[in-house]
Each structure stands twice: as C-alpha cells, then as structure tokens.
Chains A and B, each alone.
Chain A
Amino acid sequence: AQSVTQPDIHITVSEGASLELRCNYSYGATPYLFWYVQSPGQGLQLLLKYFSGDTLVQGIKGFEAEFKRSQSSFNLRKPSVHWSDAAEYFCAAYSGTYKYIFGTGTRLKVLA
C-alpha cells in the first residue's frame, strides 16, 4: 500500500543548530513529494516540492530537501534553525490519482 512515514514524532533542537526531518515513502513509482509546515492554530503552508530533475530542492524560509530514490526518502533540512521554525512539519506524496497521502507529522521544538 502507498504510504508516507515520518519516523520522528517530536524533535527538539537548539536555536542555531542544524535540522533534519525524515520522510520515507512507499510507492510503486516516484511520486510528487511535498513538505508543509503548520504553525499553531494555522493551516498548512507549502514549504517546497519535488517533481523530477535535481534531487536537491530549495524552498521558502531557508529550507531544502533532498530526494534519494535508493532510500525512498525525502528529508527536510535547514542549516540553522530559528525560534520561529517551531511548528509541525508534514511530508506528503501525490501519486497522480487526485489523492495525496500525508505523513503523521513531526513536531519541532526549538530551545533558546
């Protein structure tokens, strides 16, 4: 079955430290992949997306993600985390059949 897995429910990092959030997908073919961020009390905002081509994609707010076909992964990274990055992050996949599958989310806490 198609699935998106985010292994980490919670992650805590210190402000200024680097960040990597993990996402693994299970699909028959390479899906379109997305990362969204949800700040408290808000809807989800699209950070970045991967369709094809360059496996390192840049997004908004200084985030980037790398697609690795061999590992079926699409991990989100940021070199230096800011306190305002504290939020919940969702990985999602779109298979081309008008359906998205979302991961269960990773909640990021940033220590001052």
Chain B
Amino acid sequence: EAQVTQNPRYLITVTGKKLTVTCSQNMNHEYMSWYRQDPGLGLRQIYYSMNVEVTDKGDVPEGYKVSRKEKRNFPLILESPSPNQTSLYFCASSQQGNYGYTFGSGTRLTVV
C-alpha cells in the first residue's frame, strides 16, 4: 500500500530533550515536506526537500532540523524542544510539487 509512515504517533517530552520524528514513504516520491498544524492557524510548512541532500526552509523553520540522506526518509529533528513546539506534525510527500500530497497520519507532540 502506498503510504507515508510517521513515528511515533504520540510523544510527550520535556523541554530541552532532543527528539526525532521519523517519516518514510514507499512511493519513490522526490518531494517531501514537514508541516505543523495548530488551531486557527491551519498548516504551516517547516521544511521541505526537493530530492536527496536538497532541503530548504519553509515558513516556520526555527527550532527544527531535517535531513534527506535517502529518498524515502525525511526525519524531523528538534534539538532542544520548547513548549511552543507542542503541536500536531505532518509529513507529506509528492511525486512533484504540483501533484498534491500524500500525508502521514500525524505525530502529536507535547513538550512540557
């Protein structure tokens, strides 16, 4: 089944403790992206990647890092999480940017 898999689905952590949210797609898509979803704000792009080793900042990149060492994987790294990063995170992929996304099921992160 074609899908984007995120792990974990739920995560509660403490301020400052580094964490990684994994994202993997099995559709050989070139384009991958991370979003955060907050009430009243919709989805905001954190980072995106056009291909292996090619990444760029979205609209809200502060406090996040990404890497794209393999085509299928696009992990999101929070080096020092803070409570304002409590949010619902989505990974998405697309064959090309204008084809529309396939989204993962989301990761609900709480930073206390």
CA distance A45 to B106 in the complex (A): 12
Q: What total count of A-B pairs have CB within 8 Å?
A: 54
CA distance A46 to B93 in the complex (A): 12
Would A32 and B43 count as touching, CB distance under 8 A? no
CA distance A111 to B35 in the complex (A): 31
**Least distance between B3 CB and chain A CB atoms (Å):** 10
**Least distance between A29 CB and chain B CB atoms (Å):** 13
Q: A interface vs B, CB < 8 Å?
A: 32, 34, 36, 41-46, 49, 51, 90, 94, 96, 98-100, 102-105
Which of B60-68, B78-86, B96-104 forms part of the interface with chain A? B96-104
Residues of A contacting B33 with CB < 8 Å?
A: 100
Say if the beta carbon of B48 comes within 8 Å of chain A. yes
**Least distance between B68 CB and chain A CB atoms (Å):** 13
Known interface pairs A43-B106, A99-B45, A99-B48; A34-B100 also in contact (CB < 8 Å): yes
Query: Which applies to chain B's interface (DSSP): helix, strand, loop or mixed?
Result: strand
CA distance A90 to B92 in the complex (A): 15
Known interface pairs A42-B105, A98-B56, A99-B48; A104-B42 also in contact (CB < 8 Å): yes
CA distance A49 to B101 in the complex (A): 11
Would A96 and B43 count as touching, CB distance under 8 A? no
Would A96 and B42 count as touching, CB distance under 8 A? no
Using a Cβ–Cβ cut-off of 8 Å, how many residues does chain B contribute to the interface with A? 27
* Shortest Cβ-Cβ A-B pairs, 10 listed: A43-B103, A104-B42, A102-B43, A44-B103, A46-B100, A32-B98, A102-B42, A43-B105, A49-B100, A98-B97
Q: B interface vs A, CB < 8 Å?
A: 4, 31, 33, 35, 40-45, 48, 50, 56, 58-59, 90, 92, 97-106
Known interface pairs A43-B105, A44-B103, A99-B58; A90-B98 also in contact (CB < 8 Å): no
CA distance A94 to B56 in the complex (A): 16
Give 15 A-B contacts (CB < 8 Å), ordered by A residue: A36-B101, A36-B103, A42-B106, A43-B105, A44-B92, A46-B100, A49-B99, A94-B98, A96-B97, A99-B45, A99-B59, A100-B97, A100-B101, A104-B41, A104-B42
Considering the complex, give the chain A residue whose CB is closest to the CB of B105.
A43
CA distance A102 to B106 in the complex (A): 16
